[in-house]
Structure 1
Amino acid sequence: MKQAHAMPFGASLLAGGGVRFALWAPAVDQVVLELGAQQPASHAMRRDAGGWHRLELPDAGPGDAYRFRLPDGLRVPDPASRFNPEDVHGASQVIDPKAHAWQHAHWRGRPWEEAVLYELHVGTFTVEGTYAAARARLPALAELGITAIELMPLADFPGKRNWGYDGVLPFAPAASYGTPDALKALVDAAHGLGLMVLIDVVYNHFGPEGNYLHAYCPQFFNPKHQTPWGSAINYDGEGARTVRDFFIHNALYWVEEFRFDGLRMDAIHAIRDDSPLHIVQEICQALHAGPGQERHVHVVLENDANQASFLARDARGRPPCATAQWNDDLHHAAHVLTTGETDGYYADYADDPVAQFGRALAQGFVYQGQPSAFRGGERRGEDASRLPLAAFVSYLQTHDQVGNRAFGERIQAIGEVGLVRAAWTCLVFSPHVPMLFMGEEFEASTPFQYFCDFGPELASAVAKGRREEFGRFKAFADEAARARIPDPNAESTFMASKLRWEEWDDPLHEAWRIQLGEMLALRRQRLVPLFAGQRGAGRFQAEDGLLRVAWTLADTTRGLEGPRLHLLAHFGEGPVEGVALPPGELLYANAVERDGSGTLRVARGGVFVALQEPGLA
């Protein structure tokens, strides 16, 4: 099978040979296409009344370099480039989207309740930092029990290294990792192993370097809405229809042409759109109406506003909009619980963090409309009581929560390891969709630091700004302390963030990986079949560090109320004795003993999980 996504933007191969080029540049009267790398030939493009510049060249073909020349002489890449091998300031390249012959055309994805996510950054996942090297590591992840990998953004960015959130060419996979076909081979291999692959996309802003749209298409932005990155992307002003189509096609492009199993949308709370139909909803509708009719396609949101309405289900339990959302609430509560840190937004979870963690496990969001002290009393969130708990992707670490620390320390380096493992055990046996950050499965010793590769002037400003940002914290009030914060633009910062795969089998690291694999196997075999019909919140109790959570699952074969899943965990000081035994069949226990009277002795960090059949006390 060969796959391509047809779109009105960029360079498209013609059926009879040649290439059609199209650029929306309403702010200029003339655009010249330059074709070729060394001595490019100039071809005037035709402009229509809507600001589109088009040209068909019968002699152009795959591999040809091209760029657009504006009236002032500025040469710019194609904003819909499928590949920019010489970085974002260089020429784009014509790509044959059907060059890759897919080996696993039968793949139709997986139901969402089967998801165990693994977030990875291609550049630091391996020493080589390529799509091909990442592909070689997939079998080990599949064997561990991972069922979906989530790639941090791949839209091409300036320089050789970046987290990906500074992308400026949304259709061009980052050239520093390899070719588009190498990325397709990665996705293809994942499907052969039973792994879904999601891609992180950024539809709320463009990066600060290499975005040339202002020069010929200021209509791409709406100055009525200001964001931390300047004028917002224009989803609701004059010319918004073309802008909206650009991003709708981008979503379809990744899912159709690269056969990704879905998207993770970055920071949709930062998207400004006053349209009757929000751009996130329109993108989801397009995915459901297109590739979603043939296979499982999932959309995961990052949304600090906790808008449960984006996650609603229809009468058949299907999501008309997004499938799930990253659950920062659970992370924040778990972070306070395991590390004791209460700075910044963690302050909202400092009051009884065991109860906050329990609320997140039972209900998904902690904040469902109540005021946030950190936000000055502003109410945050919406009622999530009717959502399935699979609508929440929950975790103890992400690229943000690790990398936004001054030194990029992972949670096991700053928290109590026994409590961290206990929190992860709670998450694995919950109806939430669990997510690991790369290396977490073997408690990697390497940090994940903030890194980039901007031009000299911007690089200096970014390094200075990052150190000033941490100056607000007591630990970095001293200038000498701030000077120790790694320079984001230094290659050494990037290199320090690469995983050390020799730790995978190191005795100091493999014990947790083996334990995690056993827990994931139990989840897959005993619980996942019961998660499909789970709806609504669970119940929790927290007292003196002892947490109890219970969820009602579903009998999907008969549409009846099914078993109840019971979780007991102790995060308090010292062991507790005489603890009432949760009802049902024991599924898993760690650091828990039964005493002679039929009650439990639970050590600090102990966890007990039981499954109670319907009707049994």
Structure 2
Amino acid sequence: MRRAHSMPFGAQVEPEGVRFALWAPTARDVALVLDGTEHPMPEAGEGWRRLTRAEARPGSRYGFRIDGNLVVPDPASRFQPEDVSGLSEVIDPSAFPWSDGSWRGRPWEEAVIYEAHVGTATPEGTYAGLAAKLEELRDLGVTAIELLPLADFKGSRNWGYDGVLPYAPDSAYGTPDDLKRLIDHAHALGLMVFIDVVYNHFGPAGNYLHAYAKTFFTERHQTPWGAGINFDGQESGRVVRDFFLHNALYWLEEFHVDGLRFDAVHAILDDSETHFLAELSARIRAATPGREVHLILENEANQARWLERGEGGRAAGHSAQWADDLHHGWHVLLTGEDAGYYESFADKPVAHLARSLAEGFAYQGEPFPTLDNHPRGEPSGHLPPSAFVTFLQNHDQVGNRAMGERLSHLADPQRLALARAGWLLAPQIPMLWMGEEWSASAPFLFFVDFAPDEELNRAVREGRRREFRSFAAFSDEEKAKTIPDPTAEETFRRSTLDWAERTRPPHRAVLEDTTALLALRRAEIVPLTKSEWLGGAFTLPNPEALDVTWRFRDGRLRFVANFGADLTLPLPPGRVIWISPAARSQGEGDIILPAWTGLFVKEVA
């Protein structure tokens, strides 16, 4: 089985040689730099430059000289062996021998996602290193791995959100073929693979588009990273849209991944009649018939419009959204923190959590205190639980803390045990942050590598410390200096998982609990979620307890959790499939739930 995605951009191996194509609408002159030689690239209309060279072959190094001066890499490069400013390498994607020809993916309801940063997930920090851990993840109960962005970034270490060459998997982790081997092996084990992609901005170092395609960006839209990407410009919008549409299809077709997670789509600003997000999902659905392809959004605006269901309850466009509201409710209850966006959940965290569990969003158009009481969210109660990806931790919620603490560093283990069950047994799609399954001791810190640009390194370092000066723990300059230096290699090294500790106490007990919960989910919860969704509801027995019910055609699932004084609960109808060890019976079947205990009950229709 051979795979290649054909696109109008970049270097494409053809029978007569290699075709090179660059969209450079604001360049006066462009020359192809190929293995030490230069060749003028003729204009092909509408800003395009194209040239085919018979002597070029896989492995050739190439770039483009702009206006007789700057040599830039291919913005659609498939590989950058010498980082973002080096020459690109011609890759023949059809040379890789895939063995997963029968793989069509897995139903979305079966997804248990494992979010991982390739560089710190294993001591090796490579695609091959992660591939060696896949059997352990399968045995844990994981069915999908989600990789933080792979687009080539400046330096040897980065979370991935500073990528500037979205078609080139970063060489710090291995070659494109190494990544394909990871995906091929995952499919052999029954695991899906998702990749996080960033279509809202480019990183601060190594983006050369301004040198020859200024209209790729527009001042009409402003984002946290500056001028917006020009998705809706009359002159350039079609090419810009196609650049990212092809990128999505490239990962799905050429690398045979099972889905994509789209970063911060609220920052994709588009006034077109058809929003880019709508065209994106439509193009992907049309291009992947017969496959289980899953599209996940991160969207702070909580717009239910992108998650609507079609025939048979299947996703009409995007499959699901990260459920930040649900995370925030659990986090406030577990830690008592109320700074930043947690302030909007600290007034009544149990009620916010209950509504998130039953309906998806806690805020569905109500004023959001953290946004100066501007309305946030859209009605979401009609959507099935599978429209939401839930988590107690992720790279953002851990790594954006000054010290990168995991939730297991902040919360009481017994309280965390209830939250773990309440998260993994609820019918939403659960996502684990790497190492969470055993309460890993390693933090996950913010790290970058912009050397030798020491000015940019210094700006990042000082900006990181300034960001936390409003917190009492880092309010003065000396306290701020205790924040790990994001540009130091040691900060990156400290974030690497130690897989050996998972067999030692107390980590082993957490791993056993996570494994048992995921086995229970597979046996009891997934069969329900594959049947027709009939609706969710919640009540609050008191301000410190919640009672949530999810109804499906094949049965009902109920979750009762108590966070305060003892709660007496009549023995519920159905079968108790999980209950906290500290819960106890009383009288003729009443159940007493002490603080921070709960139960799940299943009724079969």
TM-score tier after normalising by the smaller chain length: over 0.9
Please, which runs of 5 or more residues in structure 2 have no aligned partner? none
Partner Cα separation in structure 1 for residue 170 and residue 191 of structure 2: 22
Partners of 2:487 and 2:78 lie apart in 1 by 26
Specify the alignment match of 1:295 in structure 2.
Answer: 291
Equivalent position of 1:314 in the other structure: 310
Distance 2:448 2:525 in 1: 41
Aligned residue identity for 1:273: D
5 Å matches for 1:12-31? 12-14=12-14, 16-31=15-30
Q: Given the alignment of the two structures, is residue 550 of structure 1 paired with residue 549 of structure 2, yes or no?
A: yes
C-alpha distance in 1 between matches for 2:351 and 2:419 = 13
Structure 1 residue 546: deviation in Å? 2.4
Q: Give SS of 1:504's match.
A: helix
Amino acid at match of 2:443: P
Give the secondary-structure state (helix, strand or coil) at the position aligned to 2:536.
coil
User: Separation in 1 of the partners of 2:398 and 2:49?
Assistant: 44
Counterpart of 2:104 in structure 1: which amino acid? R
Deviations 1:316-371 (Å, cap 9, x if unpaired)?
31222110000000011111000000001101101121222111111111011111
Determine the C-alpha separation between the residues in 2 that align with 1:537 and 1:17.
Answer: 60
CA RMSD in angstroms comes to: 1.1
2:597 counterpart of 1:606: yes
- CA distance in structure 2 between the aligned counterparts of 1:68 and 1:613, rounded to whole angstroms: 64
Matched, 1:524 2:522: yes
Query: Which letter does structure 2 place at the counterpart of 1:465?
Result: G
Question: How much does 1:416 deviate?
Answer: 2.1
User: Cα deviations across residues 483-519 of structure 1 (Å, max 9, x unaligned)?
Assistant: 0001111000000000011111112101111111111
Q: Distance in 2 between matches of 1:311 and 1:64?
A: 43
Which residue does 1:192 correspond to in 2? 188
Matched, 1:476 2:479: no
Amino acid at match of 1:318: R
Alignment of 1:153 with 2:149, yes or no, is: yes
Is 1:596 matched up with 2:587? Answer: yes
Aligned length: 600
Query: TM-score under structure 1 normalisation?
Result: 0.96
Alpha-carbon offset, residue 17 of structure 1: 4.2
C-alpha deviation, 1:217, in angstroms = 0.3
Q: Aligned ranges for residues 419-458 of structure 1 at < 5 Å?
A: 419-454=415-450, 455-458=453-456
Q: Deviations over 1:159-207 (max 9, x none)?
A: 0000000000000001000000000010111111111110000000000
Give, as a single letter, the amino acid of the residue that structure 1 aligns with 2:564: G
Q: Could you tell me how far apart the structure 2 residues matched to 1:535 and 1:309 are?
A: 19
CA apart distance, 1:535: 4.5
Q: Which amino acid aligns with 1:588?
A: W
C-alpha change, 1:535 and 1:186, in structure 2 (3 Å) is farther
1:501 maps to which residue? 499
Cα shift readout 1:515-548 (whole Å, capped 9, x = no counterpart): 1111111111122111022243332325152221
* 1:163 equivalent in alignment to 2:162: no
For the 8 Å contact 1:155–1:170, the answer to whether it is kept is yes
Distance 1:362 1:589 in 2: 20
SS at match of 1:604: coil
Q: Displacement, 1:457?
A: 1.1
Q: Contact 1:364–1:389 at 8 Å: present in 2 too?
A: yes
- The answer for the alignment partner of 2:9 in structure 1 is 9
The reply on whether 1:88 has 2:87 as its aligned counterpart is no
Q: Does the CA contact (< 8 Å) of 1:548 and 1:566 recur in 2? A: yes
**Which one of the candidate residues 568, 581, 585 is aligned to 2:575?**
585
Pairing 1:58-69 to 2, within 5 Å after superposition? 58-69=54-65
Residue matched to 1:56: 52
Is 1:404 matched up with 2:400? Answer: yes
Partner-residue secondary structure (3-state), 1:46? coil
Match of 1:253 among 250, 255, 260: 250
What residue identity is the alignment partner of 2:473? A
Shift of 1:403: 0.3
* 1:236 aligned residue: 232
Give matches, 1:102-501, under 5 Å: 102-237=98-233, 238-291=235-288, 293-454=289-450, 455-501=453-499
Amino acid at match of 2:214: P
TM superposition shift of 1:72: 4.2
SS state of the match for residue 607, structure 1?
strand
Question: What is the distance in 1 between the residues matched to 2:67 and 2:381?
Answer: 57
CA–CA separation in structure 2 for the residues paired with 1:72 and 1:400: 42
- Give how far 1:264 is off: 0.1
Whether contact under 8 Å (2:536, 2:549) holds in the other structure is no
Residue by residue over 1:47-103, the C-alpha shift from the partner in whole angstroms, topping out at 9 and shown as x without a partner, is 123111110001111000001111141010000000000000000000010121111
Question: Structure 2: which amino acid aligns with 1:265?
Answer: F
Partner of 1:34: 33
Partner of 2:594, secondary structure, is strand
Cα deviation, residue 211, structure 1:
0.2
What CA distance in whole angstroms lies between the structure 1 residues aligned with 2:571 and 2:419? 20
1:570 equivalent to 2:565? Answer no
3-state SS, counterpart of residue 133 of structure 2: helix
What SS does the corresponding residue of 1:412 show, helix, strand or coil?
Answer: helix
- Distance (whole Å) between structure 1 residues aligned to residue 544 and residue 600 of structure 2: 17
State the shift of 1:235 in Å.
0.3
Instruction: Give yes or no for contact 1:358–1:542 (8 Å, CA) kept in 2.
Output: no
Spell out, residue by residue over 1:105-157, the C-alpha distance to the aligned partner (whole angstroms, 9 max, x if none).
11110111111111000000001100000000000000010011100000000
Q: Quick one: distance in 2 between partners of 1:565 and 1:335?
A: 23
Q: Which amino acid aligns with 2:526?
A: V
Distance 2:444 2:387 in 1: 27
How far, CA to CA, are the matches of 1:72 and 1:408 in structure 2?
A: 46
CA distance in 1, matches of 2:394, 2:103: 28
1:361-419 CA-to-partner distances (Å, cap 9, x unmatched) read 11111011111111111000001121111100010001000000000000111122222
Question: 1:17, 1:178 → 2: CA distance?
Answer: 29
Contact 2:535/2:552, CA 8 A, preserved across alignment: no
> Could you tell me which residue of structure 2 aligns to residue 560 of structure 1?
none
SS at match of 2:246: helix
Whichever residue aligns with residue 248 of structure 1, its letter is L
Q: CA deviation at 1:607?
A: 2.2
Amino acid at match of 1:571: F
More deviation in 271-280 or 581-590? 581-590
Amino acid at match of 2:600: V
Contact map agreement 1:354 1:542 (CA 8 A) in 2: no
Letter aligned with residue 48 of structure 1: A
- Looking at structure 2, the residues matched to 80 and 321 of structure 1 have their Cα atoms a distance apart, in angstroms, of 26
